[in-house]
Structures are given as structure tokens and as C-alpha cells.
Structure 1
Amino acid sequence: MAIPKLKKQDVIDALKFIDENGVPEHNTSVKYVLVSEDGKKYPPKYVVAVADHLANSTDISTESFNSVDAKNYLESLGFSIETKQQEKFELSITAESVESTDERFTMDNLNLGDNYKPLNAYFKRANGDIIKRAYSKGERRNSNQTMPRIACQVFEKQLAALSVEDKESFPVCKYSPNSDMIRGIYTSVDEYKKHRNSLEYLTYSYDNGRQFVIYSWNIFSTIIFVQECLKRFGEPGDQFVLVYREKDEKETATAEPTYQINLDQKAKEYRNEFSSMLIKSRNLIFRGAPGTGKTYLAKEIAADIISNGYEDKYDCLTDEQKKQVEFVQFHPSYDYSDFVEGLRPKVNDDGTMGFELQDGIFKKFVARARRNYEDSQKTREDVEKEVTVQEFMAEFFSDIEFGVDTFKTINGNEFTITGVDDGHIYISIPGNAMANKLVLNLDEVRKMLESGQKFEKIKDITTFFGKTFATQGHSYDFAIYKAIRAKKSTASKTKAKQEELKKYIFIIDEINRGEISKIFGELFFAIDPDYRGKAGEISTQYSNLHFNPDEKFYIPENVYIIGTMNDIDRSVDSFDFAMRRRFRFVELKADEHLEAINETIEDEERRSEAIRRMTALNKEIAEVEDLNENYQIGAAYFAKLRTIDFDQLWTDYLQPLLQEYIQGMYDEEGIMNRFARAYGYKKPARGDANEAAQDQG
């Protein structure tokens, strides 16, 4: 069901209703807030529901639409919507108490943990020392299981020393006063399932194959287990700390399986260890073997930084946040016109073909970041003035009839406005036989209106823009400026907030596959981390074709660049040295980032088997004289095991790749046999192969 049809007055009435009756706790907003003219804040979904109730006598319900629908609809009615900065909460567990900075927390309802997402967890000794999780291969950095895993890590010896009876009676979870206590630390998954046949468990491995298996579901379900560890084994003053936040709608819809900003933001506020590295270096390249998760990691870092440590998945960013990230993949035919700017074919109004200068993907991205950076430096009064002028201009252009209403220059030349877009005003000059059409720069008229100056003659415009001579367009700028000033606007002064400074991240996948000097051109200078901002401004190759030929291009301080490259790609050797010194290079080894395996293989035994096979195969690859770690197999290949088995992974993916690696080497067959043995692949006997073929037939 779509948003109900409402009038602006219906929403205003809803705000009055909410002022008088308040907002039920379950209707408070997680992501957005409507901000009224007097600064009060309201949850958009509930506002729409109340407005529908008052206008159409329906029940007050938010079930039929989501917060994004409500946000977009209210904005279309002219209301101001802000993205809410989600609050972080901190849960402290000691032997005597459990306390949270979230006043809604209660030990009487641990099911509330379903609504929250962990951001960090650690053990803090009474003397202030902090112990963090020592992660095993493939383990997620923050999950619902992180806190109980730290408890197992800190008190591993004490837990292992418990008798079988004490382990099986060990308290783990009691969701409410009326529910039963869930108990038990078991030695294997099979033992666990004899007592509780569910997938809601964690497995902690220690001491060469031994295990603790306990019940675990949401972030609160093991609080009692953790507290019991402190009671039995901890020192006075010891505590476990869990940092968490509310899930957004996307995270709530997809439950987790069992298993304003200062540019110098501290690293501890981010979830990914490489995020702070990017902030400091500005330009980062991840290099390594194929399948090591370089692209996955780049997007994870982007989500981490853009959300200020609240998200680690790009898909969970809002549509507005996704505008702060851009992704492109280089290839041999990619060039300057794709990346920066270039001439592109255009069909003219009369049907003839021509060319026009168009910005490339990077220049468009930088323009968004630069606009945000420059706007963030403006005062609230300046922002309000600009927004008011923009609304004033929009009202003016919407009231005229394109191609019909006429205007006059100071010299008496008549013209009509035939169209307007984001950056241009298109005019027709019937009396000019030489050039009866002209394109004006919309920003020039806007800047004249925003300045507050009174322009009396053309010379005032040339002085304002720092020009020695007037251009043809200035006569028409002046005429449109006077027409807008002469029109009485019905728009009132707009109240606006100061722009928040945001970070913008540009990801270049396979950066070494493109011809770097051809793609970046003169941007080599501007892209240097030490020359961000106007200190690195340059004239681009096509600057003479710009509306303002003197306009300079620069990359603002809030732009960060991540590149990825495969070390074994033959184009690595030709990677431009001038570009090399402008990036910080980070090597990703095959066995360091195993998130792809962890994310896609739910069964722990199958996941462990995948890691074991990958490790053994990579060890064998490194022992081949003409190969090295750059040829090892990354975890992304093993993520395919979600749809195929181990043998199919070998025959269809790994074997062809490895054969390509060793082609032309001495004893190719012997090397491939060693690879197969290390991986654990056994070639089927001839009879088995025939039978398999018959079965498929």
C-alpha cells in the first residue's frame, strides 16, 4: 500500500496532535526526523499515520509504508527532513550488575536484543587493561557472538576445568522472569543438539580441536552467561562492555544468522581497521592475489566511513549516503573523456549532429563533494539566502511560457527563454541572423541574485565576475536578472540548516588495467594527498571550452580514493611511477581476509574444511619455484561453495586457474597433482566417471 493522499494542512494538524498526545515508544524514528519551523522534531512515519487518521478517519498505523516512503512524501509537501544520527549505547556487565546507557534496556526482556546491532565488545580488567577478541580465521569482527566469545577467550582455562555436570548446568540465558533458564556448555554440536535441537548456538574452538558450544542468538541472549563467568572466575571490578545501536529497517528485515563529522575523526569510531588508514592517507590501493576480497573490502570501508561506523555493508547505506560513494572499473580502452571530461556526440535541435563537452564520472563525483565542502563552510544565513534565491528563480521560470514570453536586453534586442536545466538557460534571439540561439550559465544569474548587489549596467557584471571585457551572454544575464528582480515573489524566506561536512569515497577497481597517464592526465598533481583543495587547482585539457575558461579544477579535502589491483596482472609492471607515490599500498594476503567464506558458508564444519583446504593449497603454491604468494587462492573463490561442492570448485574454477599459472613450466602434470593432493581432490576412477556420465544422461 502506498502513502495515503494528504494535504500540507493535514500534516500540520498531525504535528499539533502529536504535540498534545506525544509519540508512542514503538513509533519513535530510527533513521529520519521531520523538523518543524520552530525546531521541533517528529518521526516521519508516525506523522503520516496520524495525518491519515485525522484526514480519513483511519486507524493510526505505520505498517503499510516504510520510513523512506514517508520521508520522500513529506519532502514533496515542503517539509524539512533530516537524517537522524543514530545513538550508540554501552552495556556494562559486572558480577553484581548489568547496566546500559539506553534507558529502555531491562533484564526482564532480553528479547529486545533482536532490535540491536553490535559495534564493539571487549573485556576490561579492574586495573583498566582492555582485552579484545583474538579473531580466528574467517570470524566476523562484530557479531552477536563477539561478547560471549571474548568471555570464552578470557576464561578458557577455567571453563575447560569445569566438571561435565558443572558445564551442563552452567546458566546461559533467561529471556524473561517467566521463561526457563537455558543452560549448558557442551563439547560438540552433536552434544548440544541432544539437549536443544536448534541452530541458535556458537562454537568456540580451543586446544587443538576441543570446543565449547553454547546457546546464542541476539546480542543480549548471552548476558547471563557472561555475568556468570565474572561471578565464578573474575576479579572485583572486572567487566565486559558491549557497544551497540538500533538496527535500521533493512537490518530488521534481514535478521542476522546465528553464527556531523570532523575530517580528522578518530580511528576508534570506525569498525574497519583500514578506515582510519584511508582517512590519514587519502589515497589507498589494495593489492594482492585474485579473490582476496579487495573489492569487497573497499566497499566495506566506504560504508564504514560514510556511516561513521554504523554500517559495514554498502547495501545498508541510505540512498542519500550512496551518493557519497562512486565505483568504476578501469579497462584498457578507458580514457580521459570517460574519467574527467571530453567531447561527446549530440543531436542538435535541427537534427544535425554535433559535439558537446561533458563531464566524466570522476569530475561529476568531485563536483558533488566540492559542493558539499564549500557549502559546509557557509554560515546558516548564507545557506538560507541561497535557498531562497533558488526557490525564487524556480518560481520565476515556472511562471513563464518557454518560447513565448519575450524579454529585452539593454540594447533593445528581444529574446525568449526556450528552456532551463540544472546548469543552463537556453534562449532564442530571433533578430540575430548570425547566432539566433545562445546558452547562458545559470550559476552566473544565481550568483548575481545571491550577492545582494544592485546591478545597474553591464559593467557592474564584468566587475563582479572579474572580467576585463563583457561577453555576449552578460547582456542576456542582465536582462534575466532584472526580470527576476522585478517579479514579486510569493515565496517567503526559507529557513535552512548549515550544511554538514561529509566524506566522499571514489573506488577504482582494477586500477592497473587502465592506462593511468591517459586516464588521469593533468590530475596527477591534483590527486596528490598534499595538494588537495585549491593548493592543487589546475586547468583541465578542455578548459577553453568551459563557460568560464579561467575556472580551475581541484579535488577538495573531503574526497578519498581507494584502488584495487591484482599483483599477478601483467599490467602491474606498467603502473605509472608518478601515480605510485601518490597512493599508499596495502597488501592483502590470501589467508588474512576470510569474510567471504564466513559470510556465505553457514555450517561451521564446512567453513573450517574450506579454510583448511585453502591453507593447504596455498602452502603448496608458494613452494613452486616460479610462483609466490601473489598466486595464492583467495577466499572469494571458496565463497562459491554455497552453490557447489568441493570437487566442483576444483574442476570448474581452481584447476583451470592453476593450469594457467604453471603453463610452460617443467613437469606441469606433477605440479598439478601436488596441488590436487594438497587441496584434497581425488580424481574419480574411470568406472566412477562412466557411471556419473550415465547418471547425467
Structure 2
Amino acid sequence: MTDQSELEHFKDILNVYTNVVNYLIQHKAKFKPAKGGAAAHTAEGEKDDVSETYMTYEEANEIAERSKTGPGFAISLMKDGSKPRPKFVEFLRKYNLLSQGVLDDKKRLNQYFRVGGVPITLQIGAGYQFLMPAKTFINYGWVNINYIFDDSGVTALKCWIPKPQKFDLTNQRLNALVNRLAQDPNYKGLKQPVYEKRFAEFGLHDDAITPGLEALFNQFNALKVIAERNAREMADETNGIFGFARLKDKIDEAAIRPVQVKLEDAERTNRTAENLIFHGAPGTGKTFSVLRAAAELIAADNADESGATKELREILDKAEMSGSNDSSVDSITLFKVLQKNPRFEFVQFHPSYDYTDFVEGLRPVPVKADADSADSADSTVPTGSGFALQAGTFMEFCARARKDSGHQYYFLIDEINRGDISNIFGELFFLLDGGYRGVGVTTQYANLHIKAFSDKYLNEEGKFDIPDNVTIVGTMNDIDRSVDSFDFAMRRRFRFIDINWQSSIELRFEDDTTAYPQLNKVKNLMARMNNAIAGADYPTLNADYALGASYFASMAQAESDEKYDEEKAVTWDQKIKPLLEEYLRGNVDGKTIGDLQNEWNKKDDKSASDKK
């Protein structure tokens, strides 16, 4: 639903900027580019003075053609993208293009050209001295509204996102963003030209808000949200930071996507599937994030109308309807519902876990008690030495997936590095290679397979395979002492994705300052502590020992500064100090736990850069 107050203010800003553009069009003879043409108006060398020298459109275009840089270096009339430049304020005042009440109130003026906290800036050619058709537009969070005009004034408005220019090295980031947007399913319905209407239809001089203006504003905002999310994710990827959307995409992309290899082999496909391992420091939210991602991917499959999936959709929909992040879904509830869904399975490796638990093997089974036994009252009490061949968790899971090839199945292995990998997987090493999905192997206990067992758990050839529709995801902590046992044969068959402490902030809190009012303080504290841990002062520590966001959740949720201080003290005593003492055990040359405690106890003010 459109926020009417924001829409009204958007209308006011649009009126001001339209008046500016119309004035420049009507008095174009007064304005010209600085000496040297458009090249003089780069970000480093723009000028604010208004020239009174005559220059026609034709002359301006000629200069643009001769200029090596062209007219594309549009500069904002705003300082730092938010505050009007002094010369622009003088221009607005001189020609009565903005009310004196706003112009005389510096604080109000500095906030005037914003909607929802986001600056709306006017770009004109190579600066407002150089008015150029198709180079004059409003910019709002990566999104543009183009002014279309002729000598009579503004005739139409068009909402759009710039197309990437070939060989344009000055706009590599923008080009990368636009190319990324082309792959975003939410952007498909908003491709350019996004929205274009005759200027009169926006009714800027009408008392009421016209449908045309509201539609423009809504389209503007829809594009802004999509573009900003992609820009943020793109920046995170550059910095190695994983948000939840990116993590879920990686899991979704790990599924097999048939790709044609050669044109002449139209029937032949190169089947590839990725097995993923998300690794990082403890407390970075790896396991829960994978659980949540699997839940959302299963729930998003509209072709699955089973009761278990409907129940999964219901709890996710309730979280969304409540206005909270999906991450606020109770983890225990989510896990319980997922465990009931046949398309998901969870195991946690440990030193006692082996091939018989995972694939198949002879395992104890209950046998009927003897009539004379003291336990004869309960015929299910195991007695004697009853053993039978049984399918392990993974074999049972693959059997379900094989019979339901139209849906993707997700198998999560928590603490994957804590088990004896070779002992657990056995000959499945071969099957884990992405190109061998659907290829069967003879397992260790094949001589014990009877028809009923084969029909239930094996493929049509009586062999075991990992079906195409199975996604295998593991999680592991980098500092676990058993990580060295994760042999190279296994490493080659998994794609390792690092979840660092910065990513844990995105995964755990998702920048939600409503649910986590002390989030900015927590971010500052985490940065200070983790930078100290990764520094050279503690030779036994490194970035693998970072403190993940899970340790700070109760602090982030504190409703007041006083409550935050209380939670901070408890978190240190009960979580952080014992953990660091274990990390620093035997560290005789480095700094002591007291030095890290001093870092912890520093005041956690919200930095100016973190304030919203």
C-alpha cells in the first residue's frame, strides 16, 4: 500500500525539479558548459556557476560530440548525494523555484529532497549548465525517471534502469548490476521501458493525487527495492559476505541443470550437480540458515500439495503476515515441521557414526521374546542376537527421492567433518561426483539384498544410486580439531563456501533494527572483538576463531540501553569468556584474556555511519 505522506512529498519534489528543468528549457540561451565542453564537468571538476553566455542546443551537442568523455558525466545538484549545493540553493532562491520557508530553514532544506530516507537527486546533462535531452533525469536509489522534453518544456516522464553500455569502463559496477537484474525473476515484469506517460497525466498541479502519479511512484519504488537488493548482494559478494538470499540461491543452484554439450548431440546433456559445504566459525548461523533455506525452497514448490509441505507453507506464511523476518520463525518449530517432510532429512556426524548408519548394514532388530522369559510380557523386547540388513538414513532418503523425481530433495549433514568420512561414505565417494548422478554401484552388502529390499531401496538395475533430484549440503566449523580428517578425495567432491562473521550478521539479523533495536551497537562490538581476535597480538588465534552473531542475539534484542548493558555482562560471563579461555589455553606468549575483556567493555555507541 502506498504511503500517502511519502507520495505527497514525492509530488512536491517532482514539482520543484520539473520547474527547474522547465526554467532551464525556457532560458536555455543563458546556460552553457564550462570551458572545455562536457569534459570539464567530471565528478572531480564540476563547476557550480551559472553562465550567462549564449549557447544553442546544436552548439552544445557539437561540443559533446567532440569531447572524449561525452556528456555522460552527469553531476548531481546535491552535495554528497543528499544536501543541495550552495549554488543550487542560490539558483532555486533567485528564480523562486522552491518556497522561501524551506530555503530559509537549513535543517528542513537538507532533508527536503528525500523520500523514505533515500535522496532523490536531479541530474542534468553534464551539470545544470549543460541541459541535454535523454541526459536529464531524477535518480532514486539506482533507479531513474527520465525527463522527456522539447523546446516547449517537459512532455513526458519515463521510469527506467540504465542499460549497460558496451566497453563502458567508467560504469562497470552499473553494468554488472543491470546484467544481474536481467536474471532476477522479480525484475522480469518491470523491464524497460518500465513506465512512460505524457506529463499531463501525472497531475502535478492538481490538488488530488492522480492514478498516473501513484503508479509512477509505485513502479519507482518497486524498481528501487529490486535494484538496491541486487546492488547490496553484489557488494556482499565482492567482500565475501553472504546474506540469506544469496545462501538460498547457492543451494537452489546446486540442483542439476541439464545443459546441452554440443549442437550435434542435441539429446546428450552434461549433468552436473554440486554438493555444498558451508563452513566458518562457530555461531555464524550456518545450520539454521540451511534449514530455513531448505524450508523455503520446498514451500515454494507449488506443485507439491502434500500435507507436510502445506504445513511448512503455513508457518512461513504466518511469519511473513506478522510483518517479521522469516528468520524470526522459531527454529525448533521449523525443524520439527521439516523433519516431518519426506523431502528433507537431517543427520549429524560424530565419531561413532558409520556406514551402517548412513548407507546400509547389519543392525540389531527386536525379536520375539521366549515364552518362559521374564520379559515375555513385552514381545518387542530384543533378546538373543537378532540382526538384519537395514537401509541407512541416506539410502532411505534416496529411495524416497527416486520415486518422486518431479520434486527436489534436500539432505543436510551437520558437523560433516566430525565423522570418519571414508568409513561413512564408502563407495559413495564415486557417486558424489556431480556427473555420476543416477549411475548405480554395487554396495558392500549386495549379497544380502533380497527382492523386497531391492524393490524398495535400489534402482531398476538392483544397484544403489544418488538420484538427480537430491541436493546434499553440509555444515562444519573451521576450528574443530577433526577438520584435518576431512580428506582431499572428499574435499574435491564438495564446493566449500565460507560463512564469515560479517555474513553471520546478515544471516542472523538481516539488518532488522525493529526486531533487533541494539543491532548497530552489536555490529560495532563484533567488529572490535573479531578484529582483535584476528590480529597479530594473539598468535594462537586467527579469523577462524571469530565470534559469530548467534552469541550476540540476546544483546541485539535488548529493548533499552540498560537492558543491553545487562545482557552484555551476562553474555561475557556465560558465553564469550569461557569460549575465549578455551581458545587461549596454553597461549603463553600472546596477550591475556584480560586484554580481550578490555575490548569487550569499551562503550558501544552507535557510530554515525551505522545510524539509519
TM-score bracket for the superposition, by shorter chain length: 0.3 to 0.5
The higher relative CO (CA closer than 8 Å, separation ≥ 6) is in: 1
